[in-house]
Chains A and B, each alone.
Chain A
Amino acid sequence: MGINVLLIDDSAVMRAMVLKSLQMSGVPLGAVHQAANGADGLAVLRQHWVDLILLDISMPFMRGDEMLEQMRADSALAALPVIVVSSERGTERVARMQELGAVHLPKPFTPEQLRDVVRDITGVRQ
């Protein structure tokens, strides 16, 4: 059985690229959901079972760091694994998200790098 993934990025191009990388990485995929900002992402989480979130930071309406803060404060969502996919490096926002348990994967990345991070954070091998 594959893992259910939620891709959150305001760029449709980035969502397509992350999905393509996931498909090439060999990670077993289940349902793939998409959202264009943190608020829409939270709405998806209320409706669907998700095993892993790939989350951008800078987005309109609700940023990734704001969404992560809300998730960690919600007992139903607090333990969900989150990978922060962003070109930001070393910023306070990235550090804060890492403190909240997210793993940072800087752009650009290869499918192999993505696979390794997914394996580390979910424990899923094949």
Chain B
Amino acid sequence: MSVSLQKSLYSAAVYTFERVAFLVPDIPPDAAQRQLPVEAVASITFSGPARGTLQLHAGDGLLPLITANMVGMDEPDEALQLDALGELANIICGQFLPALDSVSAFEHKPPEVFTGEAFSVDPPAVLSARAEIGLESSRADVLLFLYPDSRSES
């Protein structure tokens, strides 16, 4: 994994959680946060100067927390919670992509959100950076998968 990509991924994720979900991240997450199961995953594929997927994994208990903070609602329904996770992933992706190439533009697709830990990425894509973040009593992981042949080193 690239150290500089990892740093940029952390930076994009922390900025987004602070500015959009009004949560102050704990880095690294503590042992209890790490043990929480993943409740849902938001996945965004992008193309342009590099091709890949960014995934935001939400630990148990995170969805109602981020949704309440984002929309100011105490008991948001499940659809709204999954919508909130997708929007956070979307914003993290938009914040992060210039770190891959700050000159050319990327196109990214709308987020797809899955519940549970079942998700997949096409085999040629490799895990290139990962940001693990504690958020109050829960956690979030941001994973970047890149297709190795799609990125020109600059």
A residues apposed to B, CB below 8 Å: 10-14, 16-17, 20, 58-59, 86-92, 94, 106-108, 110
Contact = CB atoms under 8 A, between A and B. Distances in A.
Contacts, number: 62
Contact of A17 (B15, B71, B105): B71
A58 B19 contact: no
B70 A16 contact: yes
B94 A107 contact: yes
Given A16-B71, A87-B91, A108-B91, 8 more contacts: A10-B110, A12-B79, A13-B70, A17-B20, A58-B110, A86-B94, A91-B106, A108-B16
A13 B105 contact: no
Contact of B80 (A13, A20, A88, A91): A13
Please classify the interface of chain A as helix (H, G, I), strand (E, B), loop, or mixed, using the class held by over half of its residues: loop
Nearest to B92: A87
Nearest to B19: A108
Interface of B: 15-16, 19-20, 67, 70-73, 79-80, 83-84, 86-87, 90-91, 93-95, 97-98, 104-110
A92 B20 CA distance: 26
Given A11-B83, A11-B87, A13-B71, A91 B107 contact: yes
A8 B134 CA distance: 33
A11 to B, nearest CB: 5
